[in-house]
Structure 1
């Protein structure tokens, strides 16, 4: 039986591809798209929905409002549908709680349930030849299903960054922050000593959460910097989350992009909000007053090795990065709040998303050997002359090429969805004209 060819296949259905679905619906072409999602339901940051955490993003910059204030899928419409608009305004909160925003996203996702296959993670992306269509994308899921499409949008999120020396030790008691809540909850019946590696917002939130757990008897926070530094929240600096900055950033030479990203790093990386810093400092002072050693901060420190004993505990070899002195830290649990991998050639980077491995030979490369991504977030695959052009869109994976607004930032969802949808429609019109 002939297999249906879908014009657009979306891999992953988190906020990025959800926002794209909203835009495609507005344009009347949602029927041309189908999404596959590994999780058995819509979820956003389930592993990091910690009590009291917020989204650090103006809620008006949601899936759609910057583009279409009349959309039924805005955060304001969500609040109104719940009869919660007055209560929310009464809070006088700068940002919504993360849990509430996750519910908003799930509320919107409910409207697109017919366009998504949940519980079907993509295992392989390849190219196949079709007698009528020519070359097509084939997406095979972990349960053996196959989807054929003319365009693919990868919206899976970036790969977790697992630095040396941890890759060989990952498991139930050494894990990335993207697995935090389920992993730490599984250890609730054990008294544990925890080490948190990293100095980001997620790192300090995890430290605070661990200190609220009665089974955690000691927490050590390890980071290469002086401590938890304040995030740069100046309106001028945060222009990196505007579409205009993408227009400025994307045409720059690779070396200039790398330099500019380093200069602007404190806007989004290894830096925290004032409220969580104040909370941790207050707890630290309280412990000092009562003589408790439950919390230890280890600044200017990097982990150089890890050994696991027969009882499952871990001994971390650490080094002061300035004095080069050595020490050890014993732990039962190690949490890596070490962020996510970018496309690039630097330490911890990856040249492309792992899902692109089987089409890597067709990826056009820039001067550093990293795939070239257009302003429309598309990789135009190399193809024989006269063949139908193929595009892979990267929805939320392009910080190296498009700037910090593409680093999982909610603020760019609406604008990026508009850019991708416009490119998809333009490609479809060109293809129809060629037939």
Structure 2
């Protein structure tokens, strides 16, 4: 089934990135037609990791809109006020909101854009086609629908990183953290032995959650380093999440960008907040006092092989010490891969580009490294265009860490700034507007 309407802006994915873009286009007075498609049946954000006590690690004032427009009706403060919870929230004196509360805020904003979103539509193919004598983007979905657009904003997020030994074992008992809660709900057994692979904030939160579950007998935290490391939360290091750092980072040569990302890795990767580290260390200490082996840390370790085990355990893991090279075996009923997401780049574990872009790759500009040549406004030039009423444009919304810096790695802090850059580019007014009040009366169609 095809909707023959050619949308001015067609967004793929409707998580926080494209939600922020929808808000910004509305507040800028954009009069073109917008349509977003989302594979989930309704708006959701981190639904698989809405764990008790987990927070968002982001200043709540750096929400979808407030850095750009403090008077917006879509601020987190307005959400709390509308829910009658502002006084209670302020009384808590919490540094960061609970993840569950922030998910409620994002869902509240998304409700205002229900008329612009088709949920339950998973994009499977992006191509360029001739429609009525003009070239347009076509998005096809798993449900057989087709959408057409002049401008496409890809806001799907990155692909989960699945280490090679686990790639053939994915299923009900071996799964990525993005499937954590739903996979756990399907387990019916007791006395579960669970291995959590990884050293990230997600990994430690999952370990703590599992230790609170009576059906779990033992939790093993398996990681290549010495153990959970403290996240770099210095206000100087965290300048990577400010718009002026993006301006500094973007023009740098590729070698310098890679070096900076390696230097600042502990800001966002394989590192945890102090509160969860302290909590787990306390739990571990108590187990040691009582002689319990319910929690086991396996540092300097990596899984080299996963095989089915016939003696009642779902998986047998062959584990190697990364320093000595010695191997041992561990039987696990469940394996949770808190291993993060794949970058876009030249590395052996990187993706060259988002899988959805494969069919249009020969029409997208690339740099000297063969990677997509992403402009400062997050657009990728579409080459080989002939004259038509409006040029085709493709934007990568939240997929540009390699070109724009660590703030683009799913960080909530840059949502407002990035959506402003993209919206101003769509409107043809880059760098001129800071809010709807500065836009001309007639917006670009």
TM interval, short-chain normalised: over 0.9
Shift of 1:392: 1.2
* SS of aligned partner of 1:344: coil
Tell me by how many angstroms 1:389 deviates: 3.7
User: Contact 1:21 / 1:30 at 8 angstroms: preserved in 2?
Assistant: no
Please state whether the residue corresponding to 2:420 is helix, strand or coil: helix
Shift of 1:288: 0.4
Give the Cα–Cα distance (whole angstroms) in 2 for the partners of residues 362 and 427 of structure 1.
25
Matched, 1:411 2:413: yes
SS at match of 2:160: coil
SS of 1:169's equivalent in the other structure is: coil
Shift of 1:130: 2.3
After TM superposition, give the deviation of residue 256 of structure 1 in Å: 1.0
Q: Match for residue 73 of structure 2? A: 72
- Distance in structure 2 (CA, Å) of the matches to 1:418 and 1:312: 51
Q: Which secondary structure does the structure 2 equivalent of 1:4 belong to?
A: strand
Q: In the aligned structure 2, how far is the partner of 1:3 from the partner of 1:379?
A: 25
Aligned residue in 2 for 1:17: 18
TM-score in terms of structure 1 length:
0.96
What is the deviation of 1:188?
Answer: 4.4
Tell me the distance in 1 between the aligned counterparts of 2:31 and 2:160.
31
> Contact (CA 8 Å) 2:313, 2:332: kept in 1 or not?
no
Q: How does 1:299-310 map to 2 (within 5 A)?
A: 299-310=299-310
Name the residue aligned to 1:40: 41
Q: Which residue in the other structure is 2:62 paired with?
A: 61
Q: Deviations over 1:327-347 (max 9, x none)?
A: 111101000000001111213
**1:394 alignment partner, one of 393, 396, 402:** 396
Query: What CA RMSD, in Å, does the superposition of the two structures yield over aligned residues?
Result: 1.9
SS state at 1:412 partner:
helix
C-alpha displacement of 1:184: 1.1
In structure 2, the partner of 1:157 is 157
Instruction: Note if 1:177 corresponds to 2:177.
Output: yes
Aligned residues: 431
State the distance in 2 between where 1:427 and 1:101 align: 31
Contact persistence 1:383–1:389 (CA under 8 A): no
Match of residue 381 from structure 1: 382
Match of 2:234 in 1: 234
Shift of 1:367: 2.2
CA distance in 2 between partners of 1:188 and 1:101 (Å): 31
CA contact (8 A) 1:364 1:379 kept: yes
User: Residues of 1 paired with 2:46 and 2:32: CA distance?
Assistant: 28
> What is residue 345 of structure 2 aligned with on the other side?
344
Q: Distance in 1 between matches of 2:225 and 2:117?
A: 43
TM-score by length of 2: 0.94
Gaps of 5+ in 1: none
SS at match of 2:340: coil
Q: C-alpha distance in 1, partners of 2:301/2:309?
A: 23
User: Which of 140-149 and 94-103 deviates more?
Assistant: 140-149
Task: Say if 2:306 and 2:316, in contact at 8 Å, map to a contact too.
Answer: yes
The 8 Å contact of residues 304 and 318 in structure 2, kept in 1 or not, is answered as yes
Q: What is the aligned partner in structure 2 of residue 99 from structure 1?
A: 100
Equivalent position of 2:211 in the other structure: 211
Larger CA deviation: 215-224 vs 321-330: 321-330
Gaps of 5+ in 2: 431-441
CA distance in 2, matches of 1:35, 1:108: 15
